[in-house]
Structure 1
Amino acid sequence: MPPTVSSPGSAPTAALTEDSAAVRAVGLRKVYGRGEAAVTALAGVDVAFGRGAFTAIMGPSGSGKSTLMHCLAGLDTATSGQVWLGGTELTALRDRQLTELRRDRIGFVFQAFNLLPVLTAEENLLLPLELAGRRPDRTWMRDVVERLGLTERLSHRPAELSGGQQQRVAVARALLSRPDVVFADEPTGNLDSRAGAEVLDLLRSSVRETGQTVVMVTHDPVAASYADRVVLLADGELAGELLDPTPDDVLEALAGLAAVGRLAAAGRG
């Protein structure tokens, strides 16, 4: 049977309110360049991501998925529209306020592990809190480290860790401040399939066991299948969503988007 792809305005997305959404976008537009050189990356996107849920953002190359995540996380500035983190409007904040919000309420996991090579795993974990002048919750830190299997690795520097272990350190660092949302941008892109599966299991368990909210951009249908929900983008617009997806569901949905894109291109030609 084909996967169930709901429309952008269907209940699972539309039913999320300020109280139930960890992060949401309203009329979000992002345009790069001006005049004839202008490129619309996001064309008025309305989307919400539930608290305590694992959501993947997917779409063809150039669909706007990375731009959407960067705007949601306050890493890029929207041309128009609003982004809300809980009850806080990110798009109304000044640069300093936005920097503080990202530091205190958002966690990041990137494809590149972004660990400082001269620091140990533990020092890398604690660095963001130290820069913010905050003391770590040692009980929570011990719990996170144990969950991620890093207890025996804290004194090791990144060069002494495998790729999967380095990404575990990055995940632990993102979780340590108990952020409202963890944004993961292709977190398994530099990992082999086994290490990637371990990191995805850890992200999923952080959602199910601790109520963490995770929003992940990925191009990998297998990675997306770890999520509770997949939000689909095409040409800077929402193209639907999948609930409880399997890899085959995701592949079929992406193939459908690609076919629509080819027909549209042929029509323009």
Structure 2
Amino acid sequence: MTTTVAARTVGLTKAYGDGEARVTALDDVSVELQQGEFTAIMGPSGSGKSTLMHCLAALDTPTSGEVYLGDEALGRLGDKRLTQLRRDRIGFVFQAFNLVPTLTAQENILLPLSIAGRKPDAAWFDEVIDTVGLRPRLGHRPSELSGGQQQRVACARALVSRPEVIFADEPTGNLDSTSGEEILRFLRHSVESLGQTIVMVTHDPVAAGFTDRVVFLADGRVIDEMRDPTAERVLDRMRDTAGESV
């Protein structure tokens, strides 16, 4: 198992509002995410899991503390460099797919590279397409694809630029159980066969069972983690967390 850290936070705090209206979403969070691993971030509603992912992915700015992608401290970067970093080194998979309805599957997959003025690596593109199993559907628009196929297009779009880390925000939340499992197996395969690093926010113990590690949050703090999770072990831990918060 690799010990290379793909991303990490040090003393990360994120607060919203001032005075009595101040809400602390993250409270002194320090966590490391290993390269080539599939990590789930879990916790009850309001625990800070989405805020943590948004700070890690350079979509939100912490109140204090620091976020590192590799060895680079994000807080020291200007807006132009942050935009470049998000484009070139980070991939995103969102619950709502975020596909352009007028573009084909292939055009959606290549859109970030097109915007960046970069040509795809043909061999890598072929490997990604074969991994997602969408070659026969590349000429179809999103409305002609199932939910699971649309999410696979979104996953391929995140992979094709070869990012250091892919962040997935409830990627199976809008899918039925069969399509959801299809996406989770694909993400698992991306880690095992392509060496991808994936960080997924989820509330689903079954989804967490596909990962290498689960980080549990409550009230803006990391309270536990689990290696080699199963759905049953995760569910038991979530019940414990719920009991502790009562």
Please give the TM-score of this superposition, normalised by the length of structure 1: 0.90
2:174 to 190, 199, 222: 190
Match for 2:102: what amino acid?
Answer: V
2:183 to 199, 203, 227: 199
2:243 to 259, 265, 268: 259
- Equivalent residue runs for 1:14-93 within 5 Å: 20-93=4-77
- Equivalent residue runs for 1:208-247 within 5 Å: 208-247=192-231
Aligned to 2:153: 169
Q: What is the alpha-carbon distance in structure 1 between the residues aligned to residue 53 and residue 22 of structure 2? A: 20
| Cα deviations by residue, 1:11-50 (Å, 9 ceiling, x for unpaired) | x9xx96xxx1100000000001111100000000000000
Does 2:128 align with 1:144?
A: yes
Match for 2:13: what amino acid?
Answer: R
1:98 to 82, 105, 108: 82
Q: What is the alpha-carbon distance in structure 1 between the residues aligned to residue 118 and residue 156 of structure 2? A: 16
- Equivalent residue runs for 1:6-17 within 5 Å: none
Q: What is the alpha-carbon distance in structure 2 between the residues aligned to residue 106 and residue 26 of structure 1? A: 19
- Root-mean-square deviation (CA, aligned residues, Å) is 1.2
Q: What is the alpha-carbon distance in structure 1 between the residues aligned to residue 215 and residue 78 of structure 2? A: 29
Report the identity percentage. Answer: 63
How much has 1:147 moved relative to structure 2?
1.1
Please give the TM-score of this superposition, normalised by the length of structure 2: 0.98
| Cα deviations by residue, 1:205-235 (Å, 9 ceiling, x for unpaired) | 1001111000000000000110000000010
The structure with more radius of gyration: 1
Could you say what secondary structure the match of 1:189 adopts?
A: coil
Could you say what secondary structure the match of 1:159 adopts?
A: helix
How much has 1:71 moved relative to structure 2?
0.3
Structure 1 unaligned residues grouped into runs of 5+: 1-11, 263-269
Q: What is the alpha-carbon distance in structure 2 between the residues aligned to residue 145 and residue 211 of structure 1? A: 16
How much has 1:95 moved relative to structure 2?
1.5
Aligned to 1:178: 162
Structure 2 unaligned residues grouped into runs of 5+: none
Q: What is the alpha-carbon distance in structure 2 between the residues aligned to residue 243 and residue 189 of structure 1? A: 23
Match for 1:32: what amino acid?
Answer: Y
1:135 to 101, 119, 138: 119
Structure 1 stretches of 4+ moved >3 Å? none
